[in-house]
Amino acid sequence: MDERFTSRDSVPNVEELIRATPFFNGLPDSVVERATAHIVSRTHPPNQVILLENDWGSSVYFLLEGWVKIRTYNLDGKEVTLNILGSGEIFGEMAALDEVPRSTDVITLAPTTIGNLPAQDFVQLIHTEPLAGIRLAQLMARRLRQVNRRLRLRESDSTSRVADIILFLAEGQGKESPEGIEIPNLPHRELSSLSGLARETVTRVLSKLEKKGLIKRDREILCIPDLNALERLMV
Protein backbone atom coordinates (compact mmCIF):
# COMPACT_ATOMS: atom_id res chain seq x y z
CA MET A 1 0.00 0.00 0.00
CA ASP A 2 1.48 3.32 -1.13
CA GLU A 3 1.06 5.68 1.79
CA ARG A 4 3.24 7.59 4.21
CA PHE A 5 2.80 7.81 7.95
CA THR A 6 4.15 10.89 9.65
CA SER A 7 3.96 12.57 13.03
CA ARG A 8 2.74 16.11 13.45
CA ASP A 9 6.26 17.33 14.04
CA SER A 10 7.58 15.93 10.76
CA VAL A 11 5.08 17.88 8.64
CA PRO A 12 5.41 21.58 9.50
CA ASN A 13 1.94 22.67 8.38
CA VAL A 14 -0.11 19.84 9.91
CA GLU A 15 -0.71 21.86 13.09
CA GLU A 16 -2.06 24.78 11.08
CA LEU A 17 -4.17 22.53 8.86
CA ILE A 18 -5.75 20.86 11.89
CA ARG A 19 -6.57 24.18 13.55
CA ALA A 20 -8.04 25.50 10.28
CA THR A 21 -10.71 22.79 10.10
CA PRO A 22 -14.21 24.19 10.83
CA PHE A 23 -14.73 21.57 13.54
CA PHE A 24 -12.11 23.22 15.77
CA ASN A 25 -13.21 26.79 14.98
CA GLY A 26 -13.65 28.74 18.21
CA LEU A 27 -12.27 26.07 20.53
CA PRO A 28 -9.53 27.29 22.91
CA ASP A 29 -5.99 26.55 21.77
CA SER A 30 -5.36 24.48 24.89
CA VAL A 31 -8.37 22.29 24.12
CA VAL A 32 -7.32 21.75 20.51
CA GLU A 33 -3.76 20.94 21.58
CA ARG A 34 -4.95 18.39 24.13
CA ALA A 35 -7.57 16.85 21.83
CA THR A 36 -5.14 16.39 18.94
CA ALA A 37 -2.06 15.36 20.92
CA HIS A 38 -2.16 11.84 19.49
CA ILE A 39 -3.14 12.72 15.94
CA VAL A 40 -1.00 11.17 13.18
CA SER A 41 -0.99 12.40 9.59
CA ARG A 42 -0.99 10.09 6.59
CA THR A 43 -0.55 10.90 2.92
CA HIS A 44 -2.28 8.82 0.25
CA PRO A 45 -2.08 8.76 -3.55
CA PRO A 46 -5.20 9.08 -5.71
CA ASN A 47 -7.59 6.13 -6.07
CA GLN A 48 -6.61 4.46 -2.83
CA VAL A 49 -9.16 2.87 -0.53
CA ILE A 50 -8.44 4.19 2.95
CA LEU A 51 -11.52 2.87 4.77
CA LEU A 52 -13.67 -0.15 4.06
CA GLU A 53 -17.29 -0.80 4.88
CA ASN A 54 -17.64 -3.02 7.98
CA ASP A 55 -14.26 -1.95 9.39
CA TRP A 56 -14.40 -1.06 13.07
CA GLY A 57 -14.13 2.63 13.88
CA SER A 58 -10.92 3.06 15.85
CA SER A 59 -10.22 6.56 14.46
CA VAL A 60 -11.89 9.75 13.32
CA TYR A 61 -10.33 11.35 10.25
CA PHE A 62 -9.67 15.01 9.45
CA LEU A 63 -9.19 15.70 5.76
CA LEU A 64 -6.31 18.17 5.72
CA GLU A 65 -5.59 18.29 1.98
CA GLY A 66 -7.11 16.62 -1.06
CA TRP A 67 -10.46 15.02 -1.87
CA VAL A 68 -12.15 11.72 -1.04
CA LYS A 69 -15.40 10.08 -2.05
CA ILE A 70 -17.76 8.21 0.24
CA ARG A 71 -18.97 5.05 -1.51
CA THR A 72 -21.39 2.21 -1.00
CA TYR A 73 -23.19 -0.32 -3.23
CA ASN A 74 -26.87 -0.78 -4.03
CA LEU A 75 -28.73 -4.11 -4.00
CA ASP A 76 -27.63 -4.78 -7.58
CA GLY A 77 -23.98 -4.40 -6.65
CA LYS A 78 -23.63 -1.06 -8.44
CA GLU A 79 -21.31 1.50 -6.89
CA VAL A 80 -23.07 4.57 -5.47
CA THR A 81 -21.15 7.72 -4.53
CA LEU A 82 -22.86 9.22 -1.50
CA ASN A 83 -20.65 12.26 -1.01
CA ILE A 84 -17.39 13.92 -1.96
CA LEU A 85 -15.41 15.64 0.79
CA GLY A 86 -12.61 18.18 0.57
CA SER A 87 -10.09 19.72 2.91
CA GLY A 88 -11.45 20.75 6.29
CA GLU A 89 -14.03 17.97 6.43
CA ILE A 90 -14.14 15.07 8.89
CA PHE A 91 -15.34 11.50 8.41
CA GLY A 92 -15.53 8.32 10.43
CA GLU A 93 -17.26 10.07 13.32
CA MET A 94 -20.43 7.96 13.18
CA ALA A 95 -18.65 4.66 13.73
CA ALA A 96 -16.65 6.19 16.58
CA LEU A 97 -19.77 7.48 18.33
CA ASP A 98 -21.99 4.44 17.71
CA GLU A 99 -19.22 1.89 18.32
CA VAL A 100 -20.39 -0.05 15.27
CA PRO A 101 -18.63 -1.06 12.03
CA ARG A 102 -18.32 1.54 9.29
CA SER A 103 -21.17 1.76 6.80
CA THR A 104 -19.28 3.01 3.72
CA ASP A 105 -15.96 2.92 1.88
CA VAL A 106 -13.72 6.00 1.56
CA ILE A 107 -11.48 6.40 -1.51
CA THR A 108 -9.07 9.21 -2.38
CA LEU A 109 -9.68 11.18 -5.58
CA ALA A 110 -6.44 13.19 -5.44
CA PRO A 111 -3.19 13.22 -3.44
CA THR A 112 -4.57 13.48 0.06
CA THR A 113 -3.32 14.19 3.59
CA ILE A 114 -5.43 12.91 6.47
CA GLY A 115 -5.08 13.36 10.22
CA ASN A 116 -6.06 10.24 12.20
CA LEU A 117 -7.47 11.02 15.64
CA PRO A 118 -8.05 8.09 18.03
CA ALA A 119 -11.77 7.54 18.46
CA GLN A 120 -11.56 7.68 22.24
CA ASP A 121 -9.93 11.13 22.08
CA PHE A 122 -12.70 12.36 19.78
CA VAL A 123 -15.45 10.99 22.02
CA GLN A 124 -13.78 12.49 25.08
CA LEU A 125 -13.70 15.88 23.36
CA ILE A 126 -17.42 15.70 22.55
CA HIS A 127 -18.21 14.77 26.16
CA THR A 128 -16.15 17.57 27.73
CA GLU A 129 -16.47 20.50 25.31
CA PRO A 130 -20.02 21.71 24.50
CA LEU A 131 -18.80 23.72 21.50
CA ALA A 132 -17.31 20.56 19.97
CA GLY A 133 -20.74 18.94 20.27
CA ILE A 134 -22.31 21.95 18.55
CA ARG A 135 -19.76 21.74 15.73
CA LEU A 136 -20.59 18.06 15.25
CA ALA A 137 -24.34 18.82 15.21
CA GLN A 138 -23.76 21.55 12.61
CA LEU A 139 -21.83 19.08 10.47
CA MET A 140 -24.65 16.53 10.63
CA ALA A 141 -27.28 19.19 9.85
CA ARG A 142 -25.36 20.44 6.81
CA ARG A 143 -24.96 16.95 5.40
CA LEU A 144 -28.64 16.22 5.95
CA ARG A 145 -29.60 19.40 4.08
CA GLN A 146 -27.36 18.36 1.21
CA VAL A 147 -28.99 14.95 1.00
CA ASN A 148 -32.47 16.47 1.11
CA ARG A 149 -31.58 18.92 -1.64
CA ARG A 150 -30.29 16.16 -3.89
CA LEU A 151 -33.36 14.01 -3.25
CA ARG A 152 -35.65 16.90 -4.22
CA LEU A 153 -33.78 17.29 -7.49
CA ARG A 154 -34.05 13.61 -8.48
CA GLU A 155 -37.13 14.43 -10.58
CA SER A 156 -35.55 17.49 -12.20
CA ASP A 157 -34.01 17.64 -15.67
CA SER A 158 -30.44 16.51 -16.27
CA THR A 159 -29.04 20.05 -16.53
CA SER A 160 -30.44 20.97 -13.11
CA ARG A 161 -29.02 17.84 -11.54
CA VAL A 162 -25.51 18.30 -12.92
CA ALA A 163 -25.57 22.00 -12.02
CA ASP A 164 -26.61 21.10 -8.49
CA ILE A 165 -23.69 18.69 -8.06
CA ILE A 166 -21.25 21.35 -9.29
CA LEU A 167 -22.76 23.92 -6.91
CA PHE A 168 -22.70 21.40 -4.07
CA LEU A 169 -18.96 20.88 -4.57
CA ALA A 170 -18.29 24.59 -5.02
CA GLU A 171 -20.22 25.65 -1.94
CA GLY A 172 -18.58 23.02 0.22
CA GLN A 173 -14.96 23.19 -0.85
CA GLY A 174 -14.60 25.61 -3.75
CA LYS A 175 -11.56 27.89 -3.83
CA GLU A 176 -11.70 31.47 -5.06
CA SER A 177 -9.51 32.47 -7.98
CA PRO A 178 -9.42 35.51 -10.30
CA GLU A 179 -11.51 33.53 -12.80
CA GLY A 180 -14.16 32.35 -10.33
CA ILE A 181 -14.67 29.42 -7.96
CA GLU A 182 -12.48 26.39 -8.62
CA ILE A 183 -13.18 22.72 -7.84
CA PRO A 184 -11.37 19.59 -9.02
CA ASN A 185 -12.36 18.47 -12.51
CA LEU A 186 -13.65 15.12 -11.27
CA PRO A 187 -14.04 12.09 -13.55
CA HIS A 188 -17.45 12.00 -15.19
CA ARG A 189 -18.18 8.67 -13.51
CA GLU A 190 -18.08 10.39 -10.11
CA LEU A 191 -20.47 13.13 -11.21
CA SER A 192 -22.64 10.43 -12.77
CA SER A 193 -22.84 8.48 -9.52
CA LEU A 194 -23.55 11.60 -7.46
CA SER A 195 -26.29 12.86 -9.78
CA GLY A 196 -27.85 9.49 -10.63
CA LEU A 197 -27.44 10.17 -14.36
CA ALA A 198 -25.75 8.15 -17.07
CA ARG A 199 -22.13 9.09 -17.70
CA GLU A 200 -22.94 10.02 -21.29
CA THR A 201 -25.64 12.40 -20.08
CA VAL A 202 -23.23 14.06 -17.65
CA THR A 203 -20.67 14.49 -20.44
CA ARG A 204 -23.28 16.08 -22.70
CA VAL A 205 -24.50 18.48 -20.00
CA LEU A 206 -20.96 19.54 -19.07
CA SER A 207 -20.21 20.30 -22.72
CA LYS A 208 -23.38 22.40 -22.94
CA LEU A 209 -22.48 24.32 -19.77
CA GLU A 210 -18.98 24.94 -21.08
CA LYS A 211 -20.27 26.26 -24.43
CA LYS A 212 -22.52 28.68 -22.54
CA GLY A 213 -19.54 29.93 -20.52
CA LEU A 214 -21.05 28.73 -17.23
CA ILE A 215 -18.05 26.53 -16.49
CA LYS A 216 -14.45 26.35 -17.69
CA ARG A 217 -12.44 23.16 -17.62
CA ASP A 218 -8.82 22.22 -17.94
CA ARG A 219 -7.06 19.00 -17.08
CA GLU A 220 -7.43 19.19 -13.29
CA ILE A 221 -9.65 22.19 -12.49
CA LEU A 222 -13.28 23.07 -13.18
CA CYS A 223 -13.97 26.78 -12.70
CA ILE A 224 -17.38 28.41 -12.21
CA PRO A 225 -17.14 32.10 -13.23
CA ASP A 226 -20.57 33.00 -11.80
CA LEU A 227 -22.28 30.80 -9.19
CA ASN A 228 -25.53 32.72 -9.47
CA ALA A 229 -25.73 32.23 -13.23
CA LEU A 230 -25.25 28.49 -12.79
CA GLU A 231 -27.86 28.36 -10.04
CA ARG A 232 -30.43 30.07 -12.27
CA LEU A 233 -30.36 27.01 -14.54
CA MET A 234 -31.90 24.84 -11.85
CA VAL A 235 -35.64 24.24 -12.02
Q: Which region holds residue 88: left if phi is over 0, alpha if psi is between -120 and 50, else beta?
A: left
**Beta pairing, strands 175-177 & 112-118:** unpaired
Q: From CA 94, how far away is CA 193, in angstroms rounded?
A: 23
Q: Give the predicted TM-score (pTM) of the model.
A: 0.78
User: How many residues are there in the chain?
Assistant: 235
- Collect the ranges in the chain with pLDDT lower than 50: 1-12
pLDDT of residue 2: 45
Q: From CA 41, how far away is CA 63, in angstroms rounded?
A: 10
Residue 107 CB-density burial (10 A; 0-12 exposed, 13-18 middle, 19+ buried): buried
pLDDT of residue 106: 93
Dmax over CA atoms of the chain, in Å, equals: 53
pLDDT of residue 235: 61
The DSSP secondary-structure symbol of 88 reads T
115 forms beta bridges with 41, 62
Contacts of 95 (CB under 8 A, 6+ apart): 55, 56, 57, 101, 102, 103, 119
Contacts of 45 (CB under 8 A, 6+ apart): 2, 3, 108, 111
pLDDT of residue 204: 95
DSSP per residue over 24-85, as a string?
GTTS-HHHHHHHTTT-EEEEE-TT-EEE-TT-B--EEEEEEESEEEEEEE-TTS-EEEEEEE
